[in-house]
Amino acid sequence: MTQPRRRHIVRRLYDWMLSWAESPHGTWALFWLAFAESSFFPLPPDPLLMALALGRRQRGVWYAVVCSVGSILGGLFGYVIGFFLWEHVREFFYGWVPGFTPEREAWFRDSYHEQGFLIVFLAGFTPIPYKVFTLVSGAVGMNVFEFFAASLVSRSARFLMIGGLIRAFGDPIRRFIDRWFDRLALGFAILLVAGFVAVKFLL
């Protein structure tokens, strides 16, 4: 598939996703989109979460909870896919997930043995494609309870921060979130990893 064609498909999916913000079924749409994004859907649920929360600020945290639960359960679904079906679906992810290659998969497998919780946490909190890590977690046989704990903490933290900020500040905070949230999340992740490495080195 050509790059312009792929961009066109993604744009249409994005518009379709945001259209649910005007629907009475928007909450359910958020849940299922968050669920799907954690295993196969190409777009994150954050834009729909923000659109719904801006429409009803007093329910911003509730929407964040719905998004978190959907994402965590979707992550478990992705784990199951990876555990049982990875050999059959890996080519799809090589083609659709930027930067995901057989070499990167091999690196994941080596890294998971020592830092599985940290890897899943960083993927769940930052703009790194979380779906890749749910599938790889299952494919490499990561402990499912450790995977669930990392997903619970990271996805809840990400979405509750977005929902809480919108509830507190409304529309003025949207531009800040759009522009800076992912960068700040990455900065936090870098500091976390640096601190972890420093502690490990000192001990």
pLDDT at 179 over 90: no
pLDDT score for 203: 42
**Structural domain for 59, as ranges:** 3-202
Q: Would you say residue 155 has pLDDT above 50?
A: yes
Question: How high is the pLDDT of residue 168?
Answer: 87
With 90 as the cut, is the pLDDT of residue 192 above it?
Answer: no
The model's confidence at residue 180, banded by pLDDT at 50, 70 and 90, is: low
pLDDT at 83 over 70: yes
User: 126 versus 68: which is more confidently predicted?
Assistant: 68
Sign of the four-CA dihedral 119, 122, 123, 128: negative
* pLDDT value of position 181: 60
Q: What span, in angstroms and rounded, lies between the C-alpha atoms of 46 and 79?
A: 21
Integer distance in angstroms from the first to the last C-alpha of the chain?
A: 50
Domain count within the chain: 1
Binning pLDDT at 50, 70 and 90, where does residue 30 land?
very high
Both tokens of 76, joined, read 């478990």
Can you give the C-alpha Rg of the chain in angstroms? 17
Type of residue at 154: S
Contact 60, 166 (CB under 8 A): yes
